[in-house]
Amino acid sequence: MAPHFERGAVMSKKTRALLAIVLVELLLAGIWFYLASLGAAHPERVAPGFHRTVGSTMGAAMGGFLGLGLILYLMAAKRDRES
């Protein structure tokens, strides 16, 4: 007879997707903050448009990932309903 293992509290797919999205967005925000503070600490070493370039690039990366994250969240919600 096979042993019966009780499953503890199971996290839903929606919750896991939301948690992953938040963690990646926080990571991207941390990289953005690091680059901005690095440019502010050494203004003589960066190009004149450095802050604008970093802001637009990181903003686009965060926005793009948030859009993909929305699709991921909706897919996870659909799978939660199916199971």
Q: Give CA separation, 8 vs 11, 79, 80, in Å.
A: 9, 20, 17
- How many domains does one find in the chain? 1
pTM across the whole model:
0.81
**By residue range, what is the domain housing residue 54?**
17-82
Question: Is 23 within the bounds of a domain?
Answer: yes
Question: Is 61 within the bounds of a domain?
Answer: yes
Question: Is 9 within the bounds of a domain?
Answer: no
Q: What is the pLDDT of residue 23?
A: 98
Question: Is 3 within the bounds of a domain?
Answer: no
Q: Around Cβ 32, how many Cβ atoms within 10 Å?
A: 17
CA angle 27, 32, 34 (to 5 degrees): 95
pLDDT in tens, 41-63: 999 999 999 999 999 999 999 99
**Could you give the CA distance from residue 33 to residue 39 in angstroms, rounded to a whole number?**
10
Question: Is 2 within the bounds of a domain?
Answer: no
pLDDT in tens, 9-46: 688 999 999 999 999 999 999 999 999 999 999 999 99
Question: Is 74 within the bounds of a domain?
Answer: yes
pLDDT band at 1; cut points 50, 70, 90:
low
Question: Is 35 within the bounds of a domain?
Answer: yes
